[in-house]
Amino acid sequence: MARKINHATLMDFVQKLRQATGGYSATPLLPATIEDTFHAVAINLVLTKLPSTPQSEPALTEYLARRLAAPWLRIDTTFRLLTICHVCGLTLDTKRVRSHLTACLIKDDSLDASYYVSKIAREILETEPQDFLGFKRPVALPARYAVDDVARYLAVKAMGDQRIEEAENLTEWLQRSQNGDGGFGFFPGTTSFIENSHAALAALSLLGARPVDLANARSFIISSQTGGGGFARSPGAAAFLDASWHGTASLRLLEEMERPASVLPEVSRQQSWLILSV
């Protein structure tokens, strides 16, 4: 039986990447970034089930407030910033958020833009994504897609309560993307990486399906945890916060897939949104 991950060393790895500014960075010598801070906050919430608050994490709150006041960047970075601010209980200017989403969709009609706008609308503004997507053409997969594209496509469809006509074909395609080592490639026949495993598991979860080999999928993820506590993209590589988040989320998704149908899930709605974020 595969060993379990070491939560204590993982949390120690995360805390070593915390900067004096309150945010988190890829290495101790680099400045904090929104992306790394998102990964650290998400790991902490999923493992401890205790969200950071302005009272418990004043330095983190100050870091987020500074970033919130600055001009917002790409829509994926904005999603991560707004999500961790929401998780940590910071007040958001909803008018500014709405204007930003509308402006983003005017400039960008990609699947990624539709996905992140939909996530912000549903999970942060608590409104229907169609309020923003209504004037756009229907969301579609790129001509050549990878597992993360499929996960985002399915998420947008699910948030819009839209039927997925190609569900059977996508399920089979995702299952074929799993390799003999248990991990998933970008698409069938490509090398396994932990971010692909997270995306494929999220997509399968949205389809109500499972990998062909659940046990081996778990083994790949667990084998990617390094001696220092963090996760690498694949076994034997260096650990980073993004890979550590993908590993944490993947294991949480696998836990839910392994539950008998009669057993209720243990994740909160907020945790569920996080572990499905790719």
Assess whether pLDDT exceeds 70 at residue 267.
Answer: no
- Where is pLDDT greater, at 270 or 255? 255
Return the higher-pLDDT residue of 226 and 1: 226
The Cα–Cα gap between 237 and 225 comes to: 9
Per-residue confidence (pLDDT) for residue 2, from 0 to 100: 43
Query: Which of 49-58, 73-82, 235-244 shows the lowest mean pLDDT across its residues?
Result: 49-58
Query: How confident is the prediction for the chain on average, in pLDDT?
Result: 92
Q: In this predicted structure, which of 155-164, 204-213, 214-223 has the lowest mean pLDDT?
A: 155-164
Say what the pLDDT of residue 1 is.
Answer: 35
Give the model confidence (pLDDT) of 128-144 as tens digits. 998 898 756 678 999 99
pTM: 0.94
Q: What is the tens place of the pLDDT at every residue in 145-175?
A: 999 999 999 999 999 888 898 999 999 999 9
10 Å CB burial of residue 237 (0-12, 13-18, 19+) is middle
Instruction: Delineate the domains of the chain, giving CATH numbers in brackets.
Output: 7-275 (1.50.10.20)
Region 35-60: mean pLDDT is 90
Q: Is 199:275 a contact under the CB 8 Å cutoff?
A: no
Q: How far is the C-alpha of 135 from the C-alpha of 138, rounded, in Å? A: 9
